[in-house]
Amino acid sequence: MKLLTYCLVVLFMLLGISPQDASTTTLYNNEHKLEIVVEVFHDFEFKKINDIKFFISHKESDMNTDLEFRTYKKLFINELKNLNYNIVDERDEADYFLKFEYGINEKIKFINYPVYKYMGKGDNVIYQKKRDNFEFKIKTKTPRSRILIGYKTFRDVTFHRFLDVDIVASDNLLKVYQGKVESEGKINSLPYVMKGLVHGIFIDFPGNSTSTNIYELTEDIYNPNAYQNRQSSNMKRIIKMRNK
C-alpha cells in the first residue's frame, strides 16, 4: 500500500500536480497547454527583406513607461529579431510602427447539473418451477431506477486573455497589419501566459489575411521559467521521498 501511494505521488509530481494543493491540481489539469486563437488582417505583401526597421510602442502613448509594458516589449523585440527585423528607438528612423495593447477579463458561467434519487434494485424472475414442496427459481436483479429531484448549480470561472497588435506604415500612417491573439483558461495571470500570446503572432508572420489559426503551446514554450522551476521542485520532492 505504501509503495502504491508513493507511485501515485510520483505520478502526480511528474504531471505537475501537487496532492496537497487543490488549486495546483486545477491549474495544471485545465491548462497544461495554452490554447490560443490568432486572427490576422493585412493588405500588403510583407516580404522579409533586409533592414526593415520597427518602432514599438503601446497603443496609448502614456503607457510606454509602464514596467509591465516594457517587459512585454522585450518579448516583441526577441521575436522580431529572430525573424531578422531591426528595432529602433526613434520614431523617425522606423519603416513601421508596431503598437500593441493587452488585457485580462474574468468570465463567470453557471452550470446546472441534474440531481437524481436512486431507487432500490428489484428482483426479476426469469425461470420458476414448483413440484410438491420444492420450488426452483432463477432471478436477476433489475437495474436501479432513478428519479430527477432537482438541479445543482456550479460556478465556473475562466479568464479571457488577449493581445491586440497593429502595424502602421511610417510614410503614410496607414494601418497595414492588424492581429489579435485570444486565450481562455484557468490561469488568472497575464504575465504567466504573455510569452505564449506574443509568440502566437509570429508563428506564421504575417500570415494569410483574414485567417484564423488555433495553436496549442506547451508550458515549456509559453512559460519556460515556470516549467523549469516546477520540474526542479518536483524532482527535489521525489528525491526527498526516496531518502525517507
Q: Which pLDDT tens digit goes with each residue over 199-228?
A: 999 998 888 888 899 999 888 888 888 778
**Predicted confidence (pLDDT) per residue in 2-53, tens digit:** 444 445 444 444 444 333 333 333 344 445 788 999 999 998 765 556 788 9
Q: Which percentage of the chain shows pLDDT scores above 70?
A: 75
Least confident of 20-24, 122-126, 148-152: 20-24
Query: How far is the C-alpha of 88 from the C-alpha of 56, rounded, in Å?
Result: 8
Percentage of the chain lying above the pLDDT 90 cut: 41
Confidence at residue 164, expressed as pLDDT on a 0 to 100 scale: 97
| Better-scored residue on pLDDT, 57 or 51 | 57
DSSP for 134-178? EEEEEEEEEPPPEEEEEEEEEEEEEEEEEEEEEEEETTT--EEEE
Tell me the pLDDT of the chain averaged across its residues.
79
| Residue with the larger pLDDT of the pair 2 and 80 | 80
User: Rounded to the nearest 10 degrees, how much is the dihedral formed by the CA atoms of 126, 130, 135, 141?
Assistant: 10
What's the confidence (pLDDT) of residue 225? 81
pLDDT at 235: 73
- Mean pLDDT within 137-158: 77
Specify the pLDDT at position 31.
57
CB under 8 A, 24+ apart: contacts of 235-238: 237/13, 238/10, 238/13
pLDDT, average across residues 152-156: 87
Q: Averaging pLDDT over each range in 4-18, 130-144, 181-195, which range is the top one?
A: 181-195
184 closest CA partner among 160, 204, 207, 212: 160
Q: Which helix (H) or strand (E) holds 180?
A: strand 175-185
Tell me the mean pLDDT in the region 100-106: 95
**Is the confidence at residue 236, as pLDDT, over 80?**
no
pLDDT at res. 45: 66
Residue 110 pLDDT level (bands cut at 50, 70, 90): confident
Q: Which has more confidence, 89 or 235?
A: 89
34-48, 51-65, 124-138, 162-176: range with lowest mean pLDDT: 124-138
